[in-house]
Amino acid sequence: MDTPLRTPPRTPLSAEQIARFAAIVGERHAVVAPAEQAPYLAEPRGLYHGVTPVVLRPGSTDEVAAILRLADALGVAVVPQGGNTGLVGGQIPFAGEILISLKRLDRIREIDPASNTMTCEAGVVLQAAQEAAAAADRLFPLSLGAEGSCTIGGNLSTNAGGTAALAYGVARDLVLGLEVVLADGRVWHGLNKLKKDNTGYELKHLFLGSEGTLGIITAAVLKLFPAPRAVETAVVGLASPAAALALLGLAQERAGGRLTSFELMARICLDFALRHGIGLRDPLAATHPWYVLIELSSGAPEGLRDLIEETLTLGLERGLVDDAVMAESLDQRAAFWRLREFISDAQKHEGGSIKHDVSVPVAAVPDFIAAASAAAGAVVPGCRPVPFGHLGDGNIHFNVSQPVGADTAAFLARWDEVAAAVFAEVLARGGSISAEHGIGVMKRDVLPDVKDPVAMALMHSLKAVLDPRGILNPGKVV
């Protein structure tokens, strides 16, 4: 956790070289003062801190290309960054690389309702993309807790998932075309709206999820969907993850594609959120060991309320549901989601938190949560597992908070031990150690132990071909 570097720092840039890079973006967009650089050099949890001679803030794809042409000529490494919301250190320069912030690439170039597409630059904030789609009576379904600050480029480079992946897929499923600047400064103009294109290799998938190690995404054509005419949301109290899994199956049988979110939360998640959140309320009169936030959406204005009521009634009759409440207003629906989205922030107030973004087959989620909780407790007796996440696609955020009253630094020093115990339970069930947050530096050294060796060899080969000088986000992923 505290030693992200695998290779020694490169030769520091000279003042003349820094000036050449600064000239590309203009002096006011080349940040060299330490105080002004600080927001770019620490990730949200404070686990990683970086160093850079200059933060470059290009305002166009041409400027990004010019930066990489010069970097390639000089052998200077660069680290691309979007909204700086990543949690695995992938956006931080650790060895004095140039940091390229893409926030100024913030134009929505086009919305095409007839094609159901939107062309966005990499620095567009996710919430702004959602709002632009809504203004055109369309839906861009990617939704994350950090949507007010994360950017489209960062979402695509980490293949973000989110709360609507059950119905619409993850970030890579929402992309039709890309514009990418390669390591040598060439620009791949792959922005197309085609749903069918069999002219060779599907190159966009090389860059989606590659965390800026193969190229820098500067724009994307995104899929849009008809705006829903009805949305129904409910919070359900139940006894166990097994009951939640059975309710998921029932909801899928009844609602099909209208089931858009199915979020699982342990009671400790609500306890933390209610203890530290302002204006949050317990959704049900009595407490329950587990909760589900369920949401249905439909293009038809009628019938959805009856469908969710029938589904929950069947759940009650089958002993799956202990209690439930449906949102009676937009404000109540928003309150349900605020409670879910505040879970991560609430953990900060409970001391150290060792976080795991993992996935297992959906049917294995209940068994995994039980086994991982026991495994973490065996490593650190008294620790508090805080499992929650997207049950519909098997993505569980299995976070572990420190024991009450424990020393935070001593607890966090056990990160690798706890992670090894949790990952063992993930792998035993055919799961993945990274579901939607990426590899970055946090999981880079673990990856060769869990990835098929042929897959690792192919990844290294692709890196060598697309970035032969190793200047793109070095030390990350591979």
pLDDT at 230: 96
Residues 389 and 423 in one domain: yes
Residues 356 and 324 in one domain: no
User: pLDDT above 70 covers what percent of the chain?
Assistant: 98
Give the model's confidence band at 3: pLDDT under 50 very low, under 70 low, under 90 confident, else very high: very low
- Average predicted confidence (pLDDT) for the chain: 95
Q: What tokens appear for 430 in the block?
A: 């055919």
Kindly state whether residue 202 falls inside one of the protein's structural domains: yes
Q: Which of residues 104, 131, 146 is at a domain's end?
A: 104
Give the model's confidence band at 393: pLDDT under 50 very low, under 70 low, under 90 confident, else very high: very high
Give the model's confidence band at 43: pLDDT under 50 very low, under 70 low, under 90 confident, else very high: confident
The mean pLDDT of 256-272, rounded to a whole number, is: 97
Bridge partners of 359?
Answer: 395, 432
Q: What tokens appear for 38 in the block?
A: 């600080």
Kindly state whether residue 476 falls inside one of the protein's structural domains: no
Residue 396 has pLDDT above 50, yes or no: yes
**Radius of gyration for the alpha carbons in the chain, expressed in angstroms and rounded:** 23
Residues 151 and 249 in one domain: no
Residues 51 and 112 in one domain: no
Residues 178 and 236 in one domain: no
- pTM of the full structure: 0.93
Task: Render pLDDT for 139-159 as a digit per residue (tens, 0 to 9).
Answer: 999 998 889 999 999 999 999
Number of domains in the chain: 4
Residues 117 and 212 in one domain: yes
Amino acid at 364: A
Q: Which of residues 289, 321, 346 is at a domain's end?
A: 346
Residues 145 and 220 in one domain: yes
| Calpha distance 433→437 (Å, rounded) | 10
The mean pLDDT of 409-428, rounded to a whole number, is: 96
Task: Render pLDDT for 101-137 as a digit per residue (tens, 0 to 9).
Answer: 999 999 999 999 999 999 999 999 999 999 999 999 9
pLDDT at 97: 96
CATH code: domain of residue 52: 3.30.43.10
The mean pLDDT of 24-44, rounded to a whole number, is: 95
CB neighbour class for 33 (10 Å; exposed up to 12, middle 13-18, buried from 19): exposed
Kindly state whether residue 287 falls inside one of the protein's structural domains: yes
CA nearest neighbour of 208 among 144, 149, 122 = 122
Kindly state whether residue 218 falls inside one of the protein's structural domains: yes
Residues 28 and 114 in one domain: no
Kindly state whether residue 24 falls inside one of the protein's structural domains: yes
CA nearest neighbour of 36 among 12, 60, 52, 15 = 52
Residues 20 and 94 in one domain: yes
CATH code: domain of residue 386: 3.30.70.2740
Kindly state whether residue 210 falls inside one of the protein's structural domains: yes
Residues 112 and 221 in one domain: yes
CATH code: domain of residue 325: 3.30.70.2190
Residues 282 and 189 in one domain: no
Residue 300 has pLDDT above 80, yes or no: yes
Q: Which of residues 294, 314, 346 is at a domain's end?
A: 346
The mean pLDDT of 211-236, rounded to a whole number, is: 97
Which range of residues forms the domain containing residue 398? 351-428
CB within 8 A of 358, min separation 6: which ones?
395, 396, 398, 422, 423, 426, 431, 432, 433, 434, 435
Kindly state whether residue 197 falls inside one of the protein's structural domains: yes
Kindly state whether residue 201 falls inside one of the protein's structural domains: yes
Half-sphere exposure of 163 (CA within 13 A, CB side): 20
Residues 338 and 239 in one domain: yes
Strand-by-strand arrangement of the 98-101 sheet = 30-31, 55-56, 98-101, 78-81
pLDDT at 145: 86
| Calpha distance 453→457 (Å, rounded) | 6
Give the model's confidence band at 9: pLDDT under 50 very low, under 70 low, under 90 confident, else very high: low
Residue 87 has pLDDT above 90, yes or no: no
